[in-house]
Amino acid sequence: MNNKITDRLSVKEIIVASTFILFATLFFACNNESKEINTEEEPIVVVETPVEEPVVEEKSFLLPDIDLNNWKVTLPITENGKLIEVEPPEILDYATNETLKPFMYNDSTDGSLVFYTYPGETTANSSYSRTELREQMVPGSNSTNWTFAQGGRMKGTLSVPEISQAANGDYYRTMVMQIHGRLTNEQRDLIGENDNNAPPVLKIYWDKGKIRVKTKVLKDLNATYEESLHTDAWGDDVGYNFPVEVVDQMFTLEIIASEGRMEVILNNEHSVVYDDIHMEKWGIFENYFKAGNYLQTTDEAATATVKYFDLVVTH
């Protein structure tokens, strides 16, 4: 009796246990399937760090804004016994011209055209050397020039950053601008000269840190036309010093020439005017502008540097 009851209970227990296992299995299976269906993965956000471009320092190279198409330059050196002059169009390549580079070159740090000189070879009518521009109204020719009646204007911004001192400590002086006279061929032949040289009616110096102006006066106001054509008919005036110092600073000079009148202006502020009988008499000559570095000493150890930042001529 007891054994049968035990057997029946065992079968029942087995059925219950089997049923429990079946439901448990189904539960877990459904639960896992639900998780697979309903569970979505969070999107992965990738933040890209921008790659910084390497910083390249920009270098500024400043160049002078000076048109050299109507200028030739005279140097303090000779070649085959002849003073070297470089005219257009060769002068336009001054930056790569091996002959010019020691005397006329760009300073790209401040945008200037540098004129360097020392006592060397000279022109026929001078004791001093120069690195100086000469105006050519027709490029490559000295024959076409202008009169005061036609008029002319030159304006430049410049500085004299370096110049030697004499034994007494005074700085030498250098001429930075000119109006130079010229004889026509007919005038040259009339007075029996062998070249077309005439005096400079205007000389502007950097002189111990100041700007000094010199002009010409006719020694004999009753001189004839022919007599007035001779260089020795003209003398120097007493000169004029502008009342401000420029030393090694940048400054502006403007020259305005018109019939019977000449004006020099410093820094657009200070002016000296020549409009007397001597200017009227000067009207017989042709003229041309000059600009640069015309060192006024023969001291072999002397040097001078003049910088031009701009230079404009109009007629």
pLDDT in tens, 258-311: 999 999 999 999 999 999 999 999 999 999 999 999 999 999 999 999 999 999
Provide the residue ranges of all domains of the chain, joining segments of one domain with +.
65-314
| pLDDT at position 9 over 50 | no
Side-chain-side CA neighbours of residue 169 (13 Å): 0
93 by Cβ neighbours in 10 Å (0-12 / 13-18 / 19+) ranks as exposed
| pLDDT at position 11 over 50 | no
pLDDT at 7: 45
pLDDT in tens, 232-251: 999 999 999 999 999 999 99
Q: Which two tokens stand for residue 27?
A: 């539960």
What average pLDDT does range 91-114 have in this prediction?
Answer: 97
Q: Which amino acid is at 294?
A: Y
| pLDDT at position 205 over 80 | yes
pLDDT at 50: 60
What average pLDDT does range 111-115 have in this prediction?
Answer: 98
pLDDT in tens, 64-87: 989 999 999 999 999 999 999 999
SS (H, E, C) the chain: CHHHHHHHHHHHHHHHHHHHHHHHHHHHHHHHHHHHHHCCCCCCCCCCCCCCCCCCCCCCCCCCEECCCCEEEEEEEEECCEEEEECCCHHHHHHHCCCCCCCEEEECCCCEEEEEECCCCCCCCCCCCEEEEEECCECCECCCCECCCCCEEEEEEEEEEEECECCCCCECEEEEEEEEEECCHHHHHHCCCCCCEEEEEEEEEEECCEEEEEEEEECCCCCCHHHHCCHHHEEECCCEEEEEECCCCCEEEEEEEECCEEEEEECCCEEEEECCHHHHHHCCCEEEEEEEEEECCCCCCCCEEEEEEEEEEEC
| pLDDT at position 194 over 80 | yes
pLDDT at 125: 87
pLDDT at 65: 85
Cβ neighbors of 193 (< 8 A, separation 6 or more) are: 183
CATH architecture of 65-314: Sandwich (2.60)
